[in-house]
Amino acid sequence: MGIIAWLVLGLIAGFIASKIVNHTGSGVIMDIILGVVGAFVGGLIFNFFGANGITGFNIYSAIVAVIGAVVVLFIYHALIGRRRI
């Protein structure tokens, strides 16, 4: 996949995951960053369990990216929550 496809997939995954986790976005740039990182993490998680990771720009890859982005967002909010205390 090209860089533009990763950014678009990351934006979609980050947006959906942010709505699932905290119902508000973290901003467009942070949604893209967390979505792209989430796509990578989702690919690693799926590969670890023997399934295919990111296979291209398709629905399956978007689902993998959203699952990874949800994991990344939970970790992100856990770390940010600790800093505010």
Number of domains in the chain: 1
H-helix or E-strand containing 65? helix 59-84
The pLDDT tens digits for 51-69 are 777 777 788 888 888 888 8
Q: For the chain, first and last CA: distance in Å?
A: 40
Question: Rounded to an integer, what distance in angstroms lies between the CA atom of residue 77 and that of residue 85?
Answer: 13
pLDDT at 5: 76
Measuring CA to CA, which residue among 52, 31, 32, 35 is closest to residue 43? 52
pLDDT at 25: 59
Residue 55 structural domain: 3-84
Q: What percent of the chain has pLDDT over 90?
A: 0
The C-alpha angle 84, 68, 2, rounded to 5 degrees, equals 115
